[in-house]
Amino acid sequence: MNQKYITIEEGEDYRTIAAKMTTLGYKMNHATARNILLSGMYKFMQHMSESLGKPLSEEECTTLVMRQDIHEVLGDILPLCATEETTLCPVEK
């Protein structure tokens, strides 16, 4: 498998996220920040696929989470959810 790295064009890189989390009292390095983000994206993709009645296999979900375009789309959508009322976008329960 030809592994590609995800390139962040907008937003913050993993080192910046790790530094901010460490400042907030959650000691973290860039690899941990990456792993936490990918784990959260995996859970999000699994939940969304099940909610839509189209559950993904572990392999399908892992493949999607590693795609650059998925990161870009979620980067566009998730901030909108944070600014809307939770009744319109129930990301957390």
Judge whether 91 lies within some domain: no
Domain limits at 60? 14-83
Query: Within a domain: residue 2?
Result: no
Nearest-angstrom CA–CA distance, 16 and 36: 14
Residue 46 has pLDDT above 50, yes or no: yes
Q: For 59-75, what is the mean pLDDT?
A: 89
In a domain, 89, yes or no: no
First CA to last CA distance, the chain:
36
pTM of the model: 0.70
8 inside domain: no
Domain contains 3: no
pLDDT at position 7 is 56
Q: Domain total for the chain?
A: 1
Does some domain include residue 31? yes
Residue 4 lies in a domain: no
Ramachandran area for residue 59 (φ above 0: left; ψ -120 to 50: alpha; else beta): alpha
Q: Residue 49: what pLDDT?
A: 94
Residue 90 lies in a domain: no
Degrees to nearest 5, angle at CA 82 with 45 and 69: 40
pLDDT tier at 33, thresholds 50, 70, 90:
very high
